Homo-oligomer: A and B are copies of this chain.
Amino acid sequence: MAVTAKIDTAERILDAALTLFNERGAANVTTADIAAGAAMREGNLHYHFRRKEQLVEALFARFQEDELLVAERSIPDPADPRSYTDYQRGWFELMWRYRCFYRDATILFAQAPALRPRFAATQAQARLAVQRVLNLAVENGLMRATPAQIEKLVMNVWIVSSYWMDFWAANTGAETLSRSDLAWGFAQIASLYEPYMSA
């Protein structure tokens, strides 16, 4: 089971990296930190990921896969408002889980330049899926907005969703972010939709 063990170890490293990136910010995490987080020596970590860049790229591949799953999740009942709430909740969970990629995209690009075009492509695809969902809401009379308004709205929702955590940390002076702060972000994003809601 040597192969399995290796895969598991790589996954363990990625888990540790994600946790640290999320908690401390991608700028403040060294390979030594990640090794410690995965309870191993630096030399061993470099056996599994020869370069830090490769580690970041592998973690990103995970994120990318999960994001598209969330973005393209189907709306079970297009006439039921709860379907959309559930959809949004799925996004929120994902963005929290991989918040380092939203918050620290710039830093991670500096560490792994190959990510930039891949990120742009994935985000564009995901944004299109979101746009389709909002258009569905319009078609079903749950929202009232022109296609142009929907497009701007999606962009604004995207920006606020991506960066409110960084904003929150910077502007409150808080060192870290707790899960309970999510309510603030949720309300903030809800206020973007509000002018276009029918009900």
| A interface, CB within 8 angstroms of B | 25, 27-28, 103-107, 109-110, 116-117, 119-120, 123-124, 149, 152-153, 155-156, 158-160, 162-164, 166-167, 169-173, 175, 187-188, 191-192, 194-196
Residue contact B149 to A191, C-beta cutoff 8 Å = yes
Residues on the B chain within 8 Å of A159, using CB:
159-160, 163-164, 167, 188
Q: Give the distance to chain B from A152, nearest Cβ to Cβ, in Å.
A: 4
* C-alpha gap A196/B169 in the complex (Å): 28
Residue contact B103 to A106, C-beta cutoff 8 Å = yes
Interface centre among A25, A123, A158, A159 (most CB of B within 10 A): A159
Residue contact A106 to B195, C-beta cutoff 8 Å = no
Given known pairs A156-B191, A159-B159, A162-B163, the reply for A110 and B28 (CB within 8 Å) is: yes
Interface centre among A25, A117, A155, A194 (most CB of B within 10 A): A155
Residue contact B106 to A27, C-beta cutoff 8 Å = yes
Residues on the B chain within 8 Å of A188, using CB:
152, 155-156, 159
**B116, B163, B187: which contacts A167 (Cβ < 8 A)?**
B163
**B109, B149, B166, B170: which contacts A170 (Cβ < 8 A)?**
B109
Residue contact A166 to B105, C-beta cutoff 8 Å = yes
Q: Give the distance to chain B from A108, nearest Cβ to Cβ, in Å.
A: 10
Residues on the B chain within 8 Å of A124, using CB:
171
Q: Give the distance to chain B from A196, nearest Cβ to Cβ, in Å.
A: 7
